[in-house]
Structure 1
Amino acid sequence: MNNLLIQTLAAGTITVGPGNPLLIMAGPCALESQELAMDIAREMKAITSRLGLPYVFKASYDKANRTSLDSFRGPGLTQGLRQLGKIREEVGVPVVSDIHEPAQAELAADTLDILQIPAFLCRQTDLLAAAAATGRVVNVKKGQFVSPWDMAHAVNKLRGSGCRDILLTERGASFGYNNLVVDMRSLPVMRSHGCPVVFDGTHSVQLPGGAGGSSAGQRDFIAPLTRAAVAAGIDGLFLEVHPEPDKALCDGPNSLPLAGVEQLLRELVAIHQLVSGGSHVD
């Protein structure tokens, strides 16, 4: 499998793939405020720097697939990209966010280092083609309804549209109503498509629509699932983190408390180093 080279003016280059440290993509579910996002980005950069891990700040400028019409969605495209651009410039880290329509791709690419395709939209050909046309790295979340081998079609759509830098992210599969399960076999299967694979350790414990008008979650299972995924062989982790998850405006039940991030990452780095044959973090 080829390595993926992510170019960013703010932070040089990040190399993702076999033989490299785990990529960490982490931040709040949605942009709640500029101040909160900056605080999380700075703290995550400090943590990942201590552990020698490449870091990308993630947050959605618009959560377009919320359960309820009244659910918090974020500041929207224009203001959200402005906030993400400020984080990119002032904190000095790459940034990633979701796009939902083909028309958003070019606008978002002016700010984002990675364009993310939401799980529910991973089959949308026009959206994939528009993301590919920007020349940016594209991270595709595997739909809860899509098999890992069928993600080859999303990869082929991107490659056929000119994209070569592709990440695939596992985020669990629908299992009955309001529940997700993770099949660890999906990780090596998606890696066989020739793309680095990321495990979404927080959306994988989500209970979609499980709280009636919003999603619930089981954050106690974040640690065991991420440990298992790293042991299975992955290239990166996607985590929703928040200083006070119970007060988060979006996906709080499945968010990792910021105070617990470093200890978990130390455990995961040790597993990753063991699996890949490298040295442990001191």
Structure 2
Amino acid sequence: MKHIQITDQIRIGNDLPLVLQAGPCQIESREHALMLAREIAAIAADLGIPYIFKASFDKANRSSLGGRRGVGLAQGLEILVAVRDSVGCPVLTDVHTEAQCRPVAEVVDMLQIPAFLCRQTDFVLAVGAAAAEYGRAVNVKKGQFLAPWDMRNVVDKLESTGCNKLALVERGVTFGYGNLVVDPRSLYEMAKTGYPVVMDATHAVQMPGALGNASGGKREYVPVIARAAVGVGIGALFLEVHDDPDNAASDGPNSVRLDQLPALLRTLKAIDRAAKGH
């Protein structure tokens, strides 16, 4: 079973204590990102949970033309550097084009391949090459259209570039129109690759396009899916967290409220310890 080193202090592995990847879906401003990073880092530290800040500088797959995209590459990377330097936690963000891969890999600790792009071979190879060049890790989200065993092909593409610091992310599978479901067997199947598995418990409760010009979601189900996944035994949990999700720039309906995060993490840490015998 493989472990991936993010920093000197943080490793992710399915048999290691749970790691938290959390933050707002979209970088809304420098001040907001720093505030959330500090708050979440403090909560995680109080519970002894390793923490990686995650947020997107661009949300390229909006439901409609009018969807808010984010602050952009240059400003987004500057803000992520500020988070890492001032809060002291590693940072994770997604990339959407081949041209973004190397500039992002120069700055962040972990690159993320969005679910919709996990089958785009040239893009996946570009992410892997950039990550290998700079010694970065990669989060690969499983497409909503893929079976868990299909991720072996994605792993092969990334490994061909010399990239071997990978984590495979479950975020649900399309079920009819505007709905996703999570099959816990997917976590077990993806772990057969030998790499750590991550549960994205917030995008998994998203309802794509349900609001007509934006996606909806059922945040009440986030704890349900998170508890089930941690009980299986996973390496990390990915959560959208926001102080005011009803007014978030994106994915508010499926984001965890900041003030509800401590109670959720306390429960998940207890489940993680029981599942792994720590």
One-letter amino acid matched to 2:57: Y
1:130 counterpart = 2:106: no
User: Normalization by structure 2: what TM-score?
Assistant: 0.97
Question: Deviations 1:252-280 (Å, cap 9, x if unpaired)?
Answer: 000000000010000000001001112xx
Partner SS, residue 223 of structure 1: helix
How far did residue 220 of structure 1 move?
Answer: 0.5
Partner SS, residue 149 of structure 1: helix
Q: Counterpart in 2 of 1:238?
A: 238
Q: Counterpart in 2 of 1:56?
A: 52
How far did residue 197 of structure 1 move?
Answer: 0.3
Question: Deviations 1:196-249 (Å, cap 9, x if unpaired)?
Answer: 000001000000000000000000000111000111111110000000100111
How far did residue 5 of structure 1 move?
Answer: 1.3
Choose between structure 1 and 2 for higher RCO, CA contacts under 8 A separated by at least 6 residues. 2
Task: Name the count of aligned residue pairs.
Answer: 274
Q: Counterpart in 1 of 2:204?
A: 204
Q: Is the 8 A contact 1:113 1:137 kept in 2?
A: yes
1:97 counterpart = 2:93: yes
How far did residue 3 of structure 1 move?
Answer: 1.3
1:25-64 map, 5 Å: 25-64=21-60
Structure 2 gap ranges (5+):
none
Q: Counterpart in 1 of 2:18?
A: 22
1:1-282 map, 5 Å: 1-7=1-7, 12-134=8-130, 135=132, 136-278=136-278
How far did residue 137 of structure 1 move?
Answer: 0.5
Q: Is the 8 A contact 1:205 1:218 kept in 2?
A: yes
How far did residue 16 of structure 1 move?
Answer: 1.0
Partner SS, residue 149 of structure 2: coil
How far did residue 19 of structure 1 move?
Answer: 3.7
Question: Sequence identity of aligned pairs in percent?
Answer: 53
CA–CA distance in structure 1, aligned partners of residues 229 and 82 of structure 2: 32
Partner SS, residue 148 of structure 2: coil
One-letter amino acid matched to 2:215: S
Partner SS, residue 127 of structure 1: helix
One-letter amino acid matched to 2:35: D
How far did residue 125 of structure 1 move?
Answer: 1.3
CA–CA distance in structure 2, aligned partners of residues 14 and 125 of structure 1: 29
Question: Deviations 1:103-130 (Å, cap 9, x if unpaired)?
Answer: 1110001111000000000011112211
CA–CA distance in structure 2, aligned partners of residues 146 and 184 of structure 1: 14
CA–CA distance in structure 2, aligned partners of residues 6 and 58 of structure 1: 13
Point out 4+ residue stretches in structure 1 off by more than 2 angstroms: none
Question: Deviations 1:156-183 (Å, cap 9, x if unpaired)?
Answer: 0000111010010000000000000001
One-letter amino acid matched to 2:182: V
C-alpha change, 1:18 and 1:176, in structure 2 (3 Å) is closer
Structure with greater helix percent:
2
CA–CA distance in structure 1, aligned partners of residues 44 and 137 of structure 2: 21
